[in-house]
């Protein structure tokens, strides 16, 4: 739920990276932070447990500057992917404007992707939001693993499993190498801004 | 889905927070929604906090604490407060969807601050409910 | 042999710990406060607990508790010519805070705490001469007086602001009624105007009264 401050001419947008545990959500944010920090001048806030797993969420705000007279502030969040943290996942989703679903291309994670997407749908429903209506981008992460001979799911399989009904824009990506990380983020920001504008008209 | 408050409401909110809390000697007040968005942010001119991160964490923290309350059979906790060496932070829920975060030093007594916050929250309620 | 190996290890570990956690130049000696003001087992034990809880929460219940504890202490110390005025001071600030709550002067709680520390010192420090006790009291009386002055001056300031605001509103109403009276609501206009005049008169009356009170207050 974007908050638009008419007095300060400011829009605050919340984008959440969702997906199964160890899928690379935090790595997406870390790449953006490391790569662009000199340009976006931000701080990344992370609440982690032992072993580097996201406990609550990672958070990275940045200022996009003026767009149509409004100062646009983007706030990127990740959720903890592990199944047991469903309550915190739901908390982070509160007031979300757009979602990047980070799917794990590892063949053995196929089921986990599907469960996590279903979980996203259920959690959005608790805020009376539909996964079919909210701005959503699919990211099929860890494509770099195929080079190492590790079995990965084909793009077709991932599309069929996750995106056959949603028909969201999708990217093959490697968050570790930074491939298509920025593209994914740019896409979701554009989609959210367009949907905000539509709503305001 | 988005929402907004008009100029008059934002002015009124700022006035309430300025007169009720900043003038009392509070260092920084932030009114946020439960998604972590900042509605109003005021300080005494000497604070340079990263209020956006603060807002995101405060909203998340409030959600976590509320869930903890439910687990132990409480509706909600009446005092949400962290005490530091120099700075303290106090949280107060405003209606269902908002949270008032107050940062203050040791020259303000918590007991008195709580009175002032309660009063400010009543005023804020009136202003927010005048929406639409 | 074994002994010296162990010593070597220990000294290396210690050195590493010193590298990591050493605090150069900082004294590790404890400076202990003189311990003669210890209210744990004293007649002030309950009063101290109440003063501390006011720091957390100001409610009628706590303020009433304060008043009743002061009352019983006044009885206990009735022969003490320093303690009685101290308790009176505390009582007076307590009552003020109870009545005013959020509208109390922000310094009131600070002065309450300060008066209590003075009182504690006088009641529990052994070996204070009467002269020293008096000095502690008069410092707190001074603080109390300053608080009273601050309260009075903010009250005048608030009245002035309130007055100015009301005046502005009324002026606006008059301007509005002037500009709209021709076009709209001509039937009710005279009535509105009369009402406005009455309000204006009442306002001027109250302003004069406030001014007079202020003047009288200054003289006395």
**CA angle at residue B13 from B8 to B15, to 5 degrees?**
95
C2 has pLDDT over 60:
no
Least confident of A43-52, B92-101, C164-173: A43-52
A93 close contact with B: CB closer than 8 A: no
Least confident of A53-67, B43-57, B115-129, C10-24: C10-24
Task: Name the residue facing B35 among A1, A61, A200 (closest C-beta).
Answer: A1
Which chain B residues have a beta carbon less than 8 Å from that of A92?
A: 60
Which chain B residues have a beta carbon less than 8 Å from that of C102?
A: 112, 115-116, 118-119
Q: Are strands A45-48 and A54-67 parallel, antiparallel or unpaired?
A: antiparallel
C27 pLDDT band (50/70/90 cuts)? very low
Query: What is the distance between the alpha carbons of residues A182 and C16, in angstroms, rounded to a whole number?
Result: 44
**Residues A164-186: tens digit of each pLDDT:** 999 999 999 999 999 999 999 99
* Sequence spans of domains, chain A: 3-200
3-state secondary structure at position C150: helix
- Rg, Å, chain C Cα set: 31
Which chain B residues have a beta carbon less than 8 Å from that of C104?
A: 112, 115
> Which CATH number applies to A3-200: 3.40.630.30, 3.10.180.10, 3.40.50.970, 3.40.50.300?
3.40.50.300
- pTM beyond 0.80, yes or no: no
Could you give the dihedral angle defined by the CA atoms of residues B59, B65, B70 and B71, in that order, rounded to the nearest 10 degrees? 130
Interface contact flag, B119 C109, Cβ < 8 Å: no
A3 pLDDT band (50/70/90 cuts)? confident
Residue B22: predicted pLDDT: 94
Query: What is the distance between the alpha carbons of residues A141 and A173, in angstroms, rounded to a whole number?
Result: 5
Closest CA to B18 of B120, B90, B130, B122: B120
C7 has pLDDT over 70:
no
Which chain C residues have a beta carbon less than 8 Å from that of B119?
A: 102
Distance from the first to the final alpha carbon of chain A: 16
Domains detected in chain B: 7-129 (3.30.450.30)
Residue C204: predicted pLDDT: 76
A192 has pLDDT over 50:
yes
Chain B residue nearest residue C63, CA to CA? B111
Which chain B residues have a beta carbon less than 8 Å from that of C58?
A: 111-112, 114-115
> C153 near C77, Cβ under 8 Å?
no
Q: What percent of chain C stands above pLDDT 70?
A: 70
C186 has pLDDT over 50:
no
Per-residue pLDDT, averaged over C182-209, amounts to 66
How many Å is the maximal CA-CA distance in chain B? Answer: 43
How is chain C split among helix, strand and coil, in percent rounded to 5? 80, 0, 20
A15 has pLDDT over 70:
yes
C3 pLDDT band (50/70/90 cuts)? low
* Sequence spans of domains, chain C: 39-154, 155-219
C33 has pLDDT over 60:
no
Residue of B18, B24, B109 for testing the chain C interface, max C β-carbons within 10 Å:
B109
Residue C28: predicted pLDDT: 46
Residue with token string 């600070």: C110
Query: What are the counts of helices (DSSP H) followed by strands (DSSP E) for chain A?
Result: 5, 8
Please report which residue ranges of C57-106 form alpha helices under DSSP H: 60-76, 83-100
C145 has pLDDT over 60:
yes
> B77 near B69, Cβ under 8 Å?
yes
As given in the structure block, the two tokens for residue C131 are 């002269």
Per-residue pLDDT, averaged over A141-157, amounts to 94
Show which of residues 101-120 on chain C sit within 8 Å of chain B, judged by CB atoms. 101-102, 104, 106, 108-110, 113
Q: Which helix (H) or strand (E) holds B103?
A: strand B98-104
C58 close contact with B: CB closer than 8 A: yes
Chains A and C: 3 or more CB pairs within 8 Å of each other: no
Residue B40: predicted pLDDT: 95
B90 close contact with C: CB closer than 8 A: no
Per-residue pLDDT, averaged over B37-48, amounts to 91
ipTM of the complex: 0.75
Show which of residues 60-89 on chain B sit within 8 Å of chain C, judged by CB atoms. 79
Average predicted confidence (pLDDT) for chain A: 91
Per-residue pLDDT, averaged over A72-89, amounts to 90
Q: Which helix (H) or strand (E) holds B84?
A: none
As given in the structure block, the two tokens for residue A54 are 């996201």
Residue of B24, B102, B115 for testing the chain C interface, max C β-carbons within 10 Å:
B115
As given in the structure block, the two tokens for residue B58 are 């405060």
Nearest CA-CA distance, residue A62 and chain B, Å: 9
Residue C211: predicted pLDDT: 72
C55 close contact with B: CB closer than 8 A: yes
**Residues B82-91: tens digit of each pLDDT:** 999 999 999 9
Query: What is the distance between the alpha carbons of residues B59 and B37, in angstroms, rounded to a whole number?
Result: 9
Closest CA to A72 of A16, A4, A137: A4
Residue with token string 């009131």: C108
Which chain C residues have a beta carbon less than 8 Å from that of B24?
A: 106
Query: What is the distance between the alpha carbons of residues C152 and C134, in angstroms, rounded to a whole number?
Result: 27
**Residues B46-70: tens digit of each pLDDT:** 888 889 889 988 998 998 898 889 8
Least confident of A109-113, C32-36, C144-148: C32-36
C75 has pLDDT over 60:
yes
**Cβ contacts of residue B126 below 8 Å, gap of 6+?**
none
Nearest CA-CA distance, residue A4 and chain B, Å: 5
Which chain C residues have a beta carbon less than 8 Å from that of B25?
A: 106
Query: What is the distance between the alpha carbons of residues C220 and C215, in angstroms, rounded to a whole number?
Result: 9
Query: What is the distance between the alpha carbons of residues B25 and B100, in angstroms, rounded to a whole number?
Result: 16
| Backbone angle region of B47, left / alpha / beta, with phi > 0 → left and psi within -120 to 50 → alpha | beta
Chain C residue nearest residue B24, CA to CA? C106
C153 has pLDDT over 60:
yes
Write the CA distances from C205 to A75, C165, C196, C208, integer angstroms.
57, 16, 14, 5
Which chain A residues have a beta carbon less than 8 Å from that of B10?
A: 5-8
Closest CA to C97 of C138, C147, C33, C163: C147
Chain C touching partners, 3 or more CB pairs below 8 A: B
Could you give the dihedral angle defined by the CA atoms of residues C105, C106, C109 and C112, in that order, rounded to the nearest 10 degrees? -60
> A6 near B10, Cβ under 8 Å?
yes
Interface contact flag, A1 B64, Cβ < 8 Å: no
Distance from the first to the final alpha carbon of chain B: 16
Q: Which helix (H) or strand (E) holds A30?
A: helix A25-40
């Amino acid at each position: 739920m974007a908050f638009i401050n008419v007095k300060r001419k400011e829009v605050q947008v919340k984008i959440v990276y969702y997906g199964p545990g160890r899928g690379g959500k935090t790595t997406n944010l870390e790449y953006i932070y490391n790569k662009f920090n000199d340009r976006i001048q931000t701080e990344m806030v992370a609440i982690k447990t032992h072993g580097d797993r996201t406990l609550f969420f990672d958070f990275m705000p940045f200022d996009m500057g003026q767009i149509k007279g409004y100062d646009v502030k983007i706030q990127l969040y990740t959720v903890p992917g592990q199944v047991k943290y469903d309550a915190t996942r739901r908390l982070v989703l509160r007031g979300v404007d757009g979602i990047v679903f980070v799917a794990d291309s590892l063949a053995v994670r196929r089921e986990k992707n599907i469960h996590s997407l279903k979980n996203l749908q259920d959690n959005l429903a608790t805020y009376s939001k539909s996964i079919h209506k909210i701005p959503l981008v699919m990211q099929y992460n860890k494509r770099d693993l195929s080079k190492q001979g590790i079995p990965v799911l084909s793009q077709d399989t991932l599309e069929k499993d996750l995106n056959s009904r949603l028909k969201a824009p999708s990217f093959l990506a490697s968050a570790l190498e930074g491939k298509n990380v920025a593209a994914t983020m740019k896409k979701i920001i554009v989609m959210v801004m367009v949907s905000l504008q539509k709503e305001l008209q | 889905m988005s929402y907004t408050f008009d100029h008059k409401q934002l002015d009124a909110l700022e006035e309430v927070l300025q007169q009720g809390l900043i003038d009392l000697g509070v260092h920084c007040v932030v009114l946020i929604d439960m998604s972590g968005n900042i509605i109003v942010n005021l300080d005494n001119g000497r604070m340079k906090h990263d209020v956006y991160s603060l807002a995101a964490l405060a909203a998340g923290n409030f959600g976590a604490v509320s869930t903890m309350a439910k687990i132990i059979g409480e509706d909600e906790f009446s005092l949400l407060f962290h005490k530091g060496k120099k700075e303290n932070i106090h949280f107060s829920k405003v209606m269902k969807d908002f949270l008032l975060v107050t940062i203050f030093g040791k020259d303000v007594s918590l007991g008195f601050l709580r009175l002032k916050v309660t009063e400010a929250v009543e005023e804020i309620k009136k202003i927010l409910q005048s929406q639409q | 042999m074994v002994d010296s190996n162990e010593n070597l290890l220990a000294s290396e570990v210690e050195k590493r710990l010193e590298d990591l956690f050493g605090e150069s130049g900082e004294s590790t000696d404890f400076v202990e406060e003189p311990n003669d003001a210890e209210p744990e087992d004293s007649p002030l034990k309950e009063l101290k607990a109440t003063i501390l809880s006011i720091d957390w929460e100001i409610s009628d219940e706590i303020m009433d508790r304060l008043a009743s504890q002061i009352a019983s202490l006044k009885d206990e110390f009735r022969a003490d010519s320093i303690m009685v005025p101290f308790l009176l001071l505390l009582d007076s600030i307590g009552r003020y805070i109870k009545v005013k709550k959020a509208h109390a002067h922000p310094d009131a709680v600070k002065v309450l705490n300060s008066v209590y520390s003075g009182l504690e010192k006088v009641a529990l420090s052994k070996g204070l001469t009467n002269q020293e006790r008096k000095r502690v009291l008069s410092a707190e009386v001074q603080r109390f007086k300053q608080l009273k002055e601050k309260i009075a001056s903010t009250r005048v300031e608030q009245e002035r602001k309130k007055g100015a605001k009301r005046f502005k509103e009324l002026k606006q109403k008059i301007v509005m009624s002037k500009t709209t009276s021709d076009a709209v609501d001509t039937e009710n206009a005279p009535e509105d105007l009369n009402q406005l005049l009455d309000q204006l008169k009442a306002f001027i009356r109250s302003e004069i009264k406030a001014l007079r009170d202020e003047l009288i207050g200054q003289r006395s």
